[in-house]
Structure formats: C-alpha cells, structure tokens
A = this chain, B = another copy of it.
Amino acid sequence: MKIGIVVPSSNVAMLSDRRSAYGRYASPDTEIFARALHDRVPLEADPSDDFLTPEILEQVMMAERSGMDAVIVDCMEDPGVEEARRLVRIPVVGPGHAAMSLAAMLSYRFSILYPLAQVRLIERLVLRHGFAPMLASIRHLSCGLDGIRQDEQATLECMVDAALTAVRKDGAHAIVPACTLTSALTQELMRRLHEQQCPVPVVDGPGAAVKLAETLIDIGAEPSRVTYPPTLGIAYPLR
C-alpha cells in the first residue's frame, strides 16, 4: 500500500528525513511518499497558521489523485486533517490524534511534551477530541523548536527532564512528545525513563500515524460521512 505524507512546510530539504520518520514503523509492503507545500508558502511559515490550510488541503487532494491509499499530515497539531476528510475518500490521519488515542489505550492519563510556548495550540486538539479527562499535563520543552532542529543530544536530555517531571509531579502514566521532529529519539527516551524507574510508554506520533493509516486501509474504514460530510463540488483551488 502507498501512504502519502504531507509536510506542512515548503522546505523540500526536509522530505527525506520526514519520509524515514514514517518509514521506520511502516510494514514491509508499505511505501511512504512525502510532499512539501507549494513554494508560494514562505520557508518560515507557521504550520498552525490557518492561511496554510488550503495549501495543505491541496496537497491532500493531490495525494489522492496520485494514487495514495492514505495520507498523513506531518504535524502534531493535525492542521487541516478534519477538513481534509470532507474532500477525499482515502483515510486522512493526524499524528496528534493518533498518538493521544494510543496513549489512552496504554494508560489512564498522559502528559504532552511541547516545544512551543503557545501550549494552547496543542491544548485545542486535546479538547477537540475529548481527551481532557485523560490529560495529566502539557509540559513545555525548554529547548524549543530551534533546539530540536540543532542539537539532538540536548533535546533528548530536555525531553527526559520534562517527562520525569510529568510522571513524578503531574501523575502522568504515559508520554506523548508533540513534535514529529523528535521521532528518532522516542525509543531512547523510553529506555531512559525505564532506567529511572519510570516505566511508562512514550507514544511516537509518526509511528502511531503510520500504523493507524495501515489499519484503516486494511479494514476498509472510511471516516463517517455524518461527521465529515463532503463539501460542495466546487473547483479548487480558488486562484
């Protein structure tokens, strides 16, 4: 099967790395394809900015037209995911929703590690999908998004610290790092937590998303057309 990854950035240099984040957990017979946004989007654009939604939706529709069996939007805030389900027939998966749902199946209460100061951007997703009663805390990653991009070892230490605090102070039973860029550190983070007597699962967003996409393809599940009614048949894009 073929899974398309929509990377909500116009930076094509990231594509190979993003593809491998998802490929790491894919089944042997799954092919992963990644696409960036149109280059009319500035390099430094914020993926949670709603001006980008049509650009994301366009890539989702293009993924369907180019034969993908499912599509994943590579961002833990799941920008455009619910909207996209109204436009295409293939499954559209968000790593944020997928990871929270998996964390809720492995534990009673999870904490999110988040690199932005604006925690509300991820809190909105928690509220939207009804996970508020299962949220122990949102812990800010002091390394920030720049730190994640520049120094892998420092990022790991920062995640270990935040996760230990989440478990010991906030009562978390599981950890959801809310940045798809730290995916390669997930297994090591989990190992470190076990070493520190915090035997909790760390749920990886890209891993959860790619397995959910495969699941939806295998069982032939479409999203509910009551929850996600198709939009009217207008020719897009508007430009």
Interface residues of A (CB under 8 A from B): 25, 27-29, 40-42, 44-46, 48-51, 53-55, 57, 80, 83, 86, 97-98, 101-102, 104-109, 117-121, 123-124, 127-130, 132-134, 138, 167, 171-174, 187, 198-201, 203-204, 207-208, 211-212, 214-216, 218-229, 231-232, 234-239
Contact = CB atoms under 8 A, between A and B. Distances in A.
A105 B44 CA distance: 31
Contacts of A128: 127-128
Q: Which 6 A-B pairs have the closest CB atoms?
A: A199-B225, A107-B224, A211-B215, A50-B83, A118-B229, A173-B226
Q: Majority SS of interface residues in chain A?
A: loop
- Give the number of times this chain occurs in the complex, counting copies: 6
A27 B27 CA distance: 9
Nearest to A56: B50
B101 A231 contact: no
